[in-house]
């Protein structure tokens, strides 16, 4: 129920993507020069000035599909190529990591601190480029301008909207399972012995008042060891964020696996294994708007990044994805003329398709902008 959620969702998912790509680029021993180009290209596209300004305008959240398409495009903004299985895995990791961070926020306003942790880390990745640093500084400015003075209630609406976006996603992530922060059913474990939010009070006291003065106090047992947080965390450009949520958890080199929980909890009509013709057209149109990939793919310096430990694993995962047509995007830049027709088809669908249609249309504009970057 907030129109301010989209930029936070995009920046945080983008931040997680950058963490994972950095880890994989190192694990696959991609030459430093190429790796740096990839990081700079992706971060530069992600924080393109016009794109960011468009993103920060009050608007409704994208559909899950539109969001995924934006990131498919972003991941291919450089000389790196990901096949469908690797892209799926990348997106699963990104979404589950940010879902974890939003779920475990102590206070709703911590979502802004999590975002700043991501931006701080991204800035370190591109420290060599003054041009990109300027873009990032602009993002700090936008975040401060739009979010720093929001009330707790407004942050709560944003957090609820983010939780709604991630609702029913229960992909298991090996790094979370190993650290015991996720259970085998895909749910996060919520420790009761945890810090209490800054500015609040430890449970266990009942105060009785008379004429606004405390006249008596009794205590009750909570059987829980609470800790207090001593600082609120800074919303400034460089400051102490206090929370570790949103920092890079891949710094230690380890492989990260994902697996979907077999029982399908998803209630979104379009997901699941049944092919969805509407979604496919929608994606083809978006992919068309994104265009220009083909040219880049022919670049001799292009390379393929694998999110799995071995190519064999990737092949196996790729076979599994074949049966999910709604996740496969055909990028065909040669048929530019067809765009009018596709737009018309898209218009036709707007009448019959579900509520995701409006969000997708807005997605188109932003994708086009991203392209012009």
Partner 1 sequence: MYKRQPSIPLKASCSALCNNLDVSDANSSQSGGSLTFAVVHKSVSHLINSSPGLPHIYRQVTCKESESSWCALESRKVLVIASLKGIQMFEPDGSIMLFWHALNRSDEKTAQFARGITSIKSDNLVCVGTSSGSILIFSVDDNGKVLNIQLKETLSGHDVPITDLISGESDTLASADELGNIAIWKTSDKSISKVTLIKGQNYPCSSIRLWDKYIIGGYGSGHIRIYEANTGNLEIEIAAHARWVNAIDVAFEANLLLSASEDTYVRVWSLGLVDNKLKVEMKFSESVTDVQLQGCKFTSPEGLTFALTGYDFSEIYLFSR
- Alpha-carbon dihedral sign for residues 239, 99, 107, 147: positive
Choose among 203, 249, 199: nearest CA to 224.
Answer: 203
CB atoms closer than 10 angstroms to residue 200: 11
Residue 197 touches partner 1, criterion: CB under 8 A: yes
d(CA 102, CA 36): 30
Beta carbon nearer to partner 1, 190 or 351: 190
Residues 154-183 interacting with partner 1 (rule: CB under 8 A) = 154, 156-157, 159-160, 163-164, 167-168, 170, 183
Residue 292 touches partner 1, criterion: CB under 8 A: no
Residues 351-370 interacting with partner 1 (rule: CB under 8 A) = 355
Q: Which member of 33, 149, 184, 207 binds partner 1 (CB under 8 A)?
A: 207
CB atoms closer than 10 angstroms to residue 358: 14
Residue 278 φ then ψ, to 5°: -60, -50
Residue 316 touches partner 1, criterion: CB under 8 A: no
State which H helix or E strand residue 17 sits in: helix 5-27
End-to-end CA distance of the chain: 31
Beta carbon nearer to partner 1, 196 or 328: 196
Residue 212 touches partner 1, criterion: CB under 8 A: yes
Measured between alpha carbons, how far is residue 47 from residues 13, 154, 243, 275, 335 in Å? 13, 25, 24, 34, 29
Residue 301 touches partner 1, criterion: CB under 8 A: no
d(CA 44, CA 68): 19
Residue 262 touches partner 1, criterion: CB under 8 A: no
Choose among 100, 117, 263: nearest CA to 173.
Answer: 100
The distance of closest approach from Cβ of residue 291 to partner 1 in the complex, given in angstroms and rounded to an integer, is: 31
In this chain, which stretch among 171-179, 197-205, 292-300, 341-349 interacts with partner 1, using CB under 8 A? Answer: 197-205
In this chain, which stretch among 8-16, 100-108, 245-253, 294-302 interacts with partner 1, using CB under 8 A? Answer: 100-108
Residues at the site binding partner 1, with contacts judged by CB under 8 A: 1-3, 58, 103, 106, 108, 151-154, 156-157, 159-160, 163-164, 167-168, 170, 183, 187-190, 192, 194, 196-197, 199-209, 211-212, 218, 220, 222-224, 226, 265, 267, 355
């Amino acid at each position: 129920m907030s129109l301010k959620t989209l930029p936070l969702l995009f920046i945080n998912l983008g931040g997680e993507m950058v963490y994972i790509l950095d880890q994989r680029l190192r694990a696959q021993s991609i030459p430093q020069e190429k790796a740096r180009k990839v990081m700079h290209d992706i971060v530069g596209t992600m924080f393109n000035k016009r794109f960011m300004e468009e993103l920060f305008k009050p608007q409704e959240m994208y559909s899950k599909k539109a969001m995924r398409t934006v990131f498919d495009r972003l991941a291919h903004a450089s000389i790196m190529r990901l096949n469908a299985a690797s892209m799926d895995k990348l997106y699963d990791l990104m979404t589950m990591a940010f879902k974890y961070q939003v779920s475990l926020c102590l206070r709703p306003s911590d979502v802004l601190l999590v975002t700043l942790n991501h931006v701080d880390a991204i800035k370190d990745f591109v420290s060599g480029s003054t041009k990109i640093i300027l873009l990032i500084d602009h993002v700090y400015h936008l975040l401060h301008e739009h979010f720093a003075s929001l009330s707790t209630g407004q942050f709560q609406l944003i957090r609820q909207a983010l939780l709604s976006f991630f609702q029913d996603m229960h992909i298991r992530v090996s790094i979370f399972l190993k650290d015991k922060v996720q259970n085998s059913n895909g749910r996060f474990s919520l420790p009761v012995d945890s810090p209490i939010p800054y500015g609040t009070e430890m449970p266990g006291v009942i105060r009785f008042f008379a004429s606004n003065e405390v006249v008596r106090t009794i205590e009750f047992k909570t059987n829980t060891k609470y800790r207090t947080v001593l600082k609120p965390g800074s919303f400034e450009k460089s400051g102490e964020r206090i929370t570790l949520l949103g920092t890079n958890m891949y710094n230690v080199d380890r492989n990260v696996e994902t697996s979907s929980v077999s029982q399908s909890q998803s209630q979104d009509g379009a997901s699941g294994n049944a092919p969805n013709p509407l979604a496919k057209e929608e994606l083809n149109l978006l992919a068309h708007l994104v265009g220009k990939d083909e040219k880049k793919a022919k670049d001799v310096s292009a390379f393929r990044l694998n999110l799995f430990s071995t190519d064999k694993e990737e092949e196996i995962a790729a076979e599994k994805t074949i049966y999910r047509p709604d996740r496969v995007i055909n990028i065909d830049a040669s048929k530019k003329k067809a765009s009018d027709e596709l737009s018309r088809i898209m218009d036709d669908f707007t009448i019959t398709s579900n509520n995701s249609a409006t969000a997708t249309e807005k997605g188109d504009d932003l994708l086009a902008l991203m392209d012009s970057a």
